[in-house]
Amino acid sequence: MMNLIAHQLKKLFKMAHPKRRQSSTRRDKRRTHYKAVVPQLAKDAATGELHLYHRAHWHEGKLYYRGKVVLEKEVATTEEN
């Protein structure tokens, strides 16, 4: 009875198992495509700040994109009664 149940469970829960061990050379060849790349930086004409291409960046409380101010940081004011 137990052998029958175990056999049915094996049929239900099949997992992939390699037939042979993969050599370290083959493993390393596969992994060569995953490289760390150096991010490409641009220098903003307005501020001289280095930033990533096609990304907005903050400089002195202002958000710049392509040399233009897009957003200014609001200064929080406290009210005293």
Q: Is residue 77 part of a domain?
A: yes
Tell me how far apart the alpha carbons of residues 56 and 33 are, in angstroms, rounded to a whole number: 30
Number of domains making up the chain: 1
**What pLDDT digit, counting tens, does each position of 3-18 carry?**
778 888 777 777 778 8
Q: Is residue 52 part of a domain?
A: yes
Q: Is residue 24 part of a domain?
A: no
Q: Is residue 48 part of a domain?
A: yes
Name beta bridge partners: 43: 50
Q: Is residue 70 part of a domain?
A: yes
> Is pTM beyond 0.75 here?
no
Amino acid (one-letter) located at 49 = E
**What pLDDT digit, counting tens, does each position of 33-67 carry?**
877 788 899 898 888 889 998 999 999 999 999 88
Q: Is 23 helix (H, G, I), strand (E, B) or coil?
A: coil
Instruction: State how beta strands 62-65 and 68-72 pair.
Output: antiparallel
Domain that holds residue 46: 37-81
